[in-house]
């Protein structure tokens, strides 16, 4: 994700030293003299809790300082315009209040129209823009952009602070800009058209708009987050319903065949029980009616019992024995055993 932070930074003009010029020459296409450049120095970022109730811990501040040299000096974060200068050096130094800050050195062309505004203290507000990984909520220790707390509000006597964190290697300074308003309530880094992955960072509470690292679209927050989650849930349910519908359609022939087989077993059981006696048929019918839900195992048990009683009353003729035509019952087909039998009375 990318963000911007705006700070009050009195500009200090400096006379170029030999080391300054050597550092600047790394970025120039020709030799640079003291007469070619205007040097400035700014306090670009710090570790204190800012007015938007966020904090950049020291390791991440140092990472921003490490990646700042060579990055452009802009005005109003207008990345669609050419840079007005360039940073050539940055250090993290301790402050009297125990916090740390980045002191960044930059240069402008000696004839830059911005030079006079800096000299007169007109151009004094500055803002850093950088890539970051994530923020952590000081109240619940969860990722701030996905937790229910709001930076600046108190929860059980504890004020919520959104602290930058995550993988320090994913942090990088993108540019530093001169802006109109320092980081006070209601102030913000100027919005502008930015490439994918860049956002404006408002200094007003609740005004932050954060992007996932390298993402093209803002991560939803508040009501937008709830809507996004609801839409994702709807999509998930629609996919599940479609899968269930397809499964149902594929299983319909099997269901129909299963029902037909159960009805066949019931009919066969009643037929065999009726051949034994009316009382046996009534008892078998009562057993079948007691099966309230389709239960193949139970119905097969009732069917098998009916066949057993039928076989006791009408034993099968021994193998090879001639059929006695006068006392012969019809040769039924046993759907379970799968073979016909001839039975004698």
pLDDT in tens, 118-133: 888 788 788 888 888 8
Percent over 70 (pLDDT), the chain: 74
- In which band, very low, low, confident or very high, does the pLDDT at 319 lie, cut at 50, 70 and 90? low
Q: Which of 96, 102, 112 is nearest to 42 (CA)?
A: 102
Rounded to 10°, the helix 278-290/223-276 angle is 170
Side-chain half-sphere exposure of 22, counting CA atoms within 13 A: 3
* CA angle, 230 then 234 then 238, to 5°: 170
Contact 88, 69 (CB under 8 A): yes
Contacts of residue 341, Cβ cutoff 8 Å, sequence gap at least 6: 316, 317, 331, 332, 334
pLDDT for the residue 68: 95
In the block, residue with structure tokens 């499964």? 247
**Distance between CA 75 and CA 176 in Å, rounded?**
8
Could you report the per-residue pLDDT of 70-91, keeping only the tens digit for each? 999 998 888 889 999 999 999 9
SS3 (DSSP) at 216:
coil
- In which band, very low, low, confident or very high, does the pLDDT at 191 lie, cut at 50, 70 and 90? very low
Burial 234-255 (b: 16+ CB within 10 A, else e): eeeeeeeeeeeeeeeeeeeeee
Give the rounded distance of the alpha carbon of 215 from its chain centre. Answer: 12
E-strand ranges in the chain read 2-8, 12-14, 37-46, 54-55, 72-75, 85-94, 100-109, 125-131, 134-137, 154-155, 158-159, 162-165, 172-179, 328-329, 343-344
Q: If you average pLDDT over residues 183-193, what whole number do you get?
A: 29
pTM of the model: 0.53
176 forms beta bridges with 73, 128
Q: Give yes or no for residue 189 having a pLDDT over 90.
A: no
Token code pair at residue 80: 């669609």
Q: Give yes or no for residue 190 having a pLDDT over 80.
A: no
Q: Which of 206, 53, 200 is nearest to 127 (CA)?
A: 200
């Amino acid at each position: 994700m990318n963000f911007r932070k705006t700070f009050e930074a009195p500009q200090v003009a400096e006379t170029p030293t030999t080391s300054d010029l050597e550092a600047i020459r790394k970025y120039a296409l020709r030799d640079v003299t003291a007469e070619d450049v205007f040097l400035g120095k700014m306090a670009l970022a710090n570790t204190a809790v800012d007015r938007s109730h966020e904090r950049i811990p020291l390791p991440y501040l140092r990472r921003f300082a490490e990646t700042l040299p060579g990055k452009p000096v802009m005005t109003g974060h207008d990345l669609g315009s050419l840079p007005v200068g360039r940073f050539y050096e940055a250090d993290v130094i301790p402050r009297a209040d125990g916090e740390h800050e980045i002191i960044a050195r930059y240069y402008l062309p000696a004839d830059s129209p911005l030079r006079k505004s800096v000299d007169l203290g007109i151009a004094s507000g500055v803002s850093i823009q950088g890539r970051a990984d994530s923020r952590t909520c000081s109240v619940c220790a969860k990722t701030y952009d996905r937790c229910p707390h709001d930076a600046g509000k108190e929860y059980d006597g504890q004020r919520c602070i959104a602290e930058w964190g995550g993988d320090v290697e994913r942090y990088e300074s993108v540019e530093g800009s001169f802006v109109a308003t320092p980081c006070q309530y209601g102030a913000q880094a100027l919005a502008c058209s930015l490439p994918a992955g860049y956002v404006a960072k408002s200094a007003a509470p609740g005004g932050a708009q954060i992007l996932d690292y390298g993402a093209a679209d803002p991560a939803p927050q508040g009501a937008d987050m709830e809507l996004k989650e609801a839409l994702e849930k709807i999509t998930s349910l629609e996919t599940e319903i479609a899968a269930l519908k397809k499964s149902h359609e594929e299983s319909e022939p099997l269901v129909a065949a299963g029902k037909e087989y159960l009805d066949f077993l019931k009919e066969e059981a009643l037929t065999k029980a009726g051949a034994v006696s009316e009382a046996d048929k009534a008892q078998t019918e009562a057993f079948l009616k007691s099966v309230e839900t389709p239960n193949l195992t139970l119905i097969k048990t009732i069917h098998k019992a009916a066949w057993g009683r039928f076989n006791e009353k009408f034993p099968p003729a021994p193998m090879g024995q001639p059929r006695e035509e006068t006392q012969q019952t019809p040769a039924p087909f046993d759907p379970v055993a799968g073979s016909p039998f001839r039975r004698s009375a």
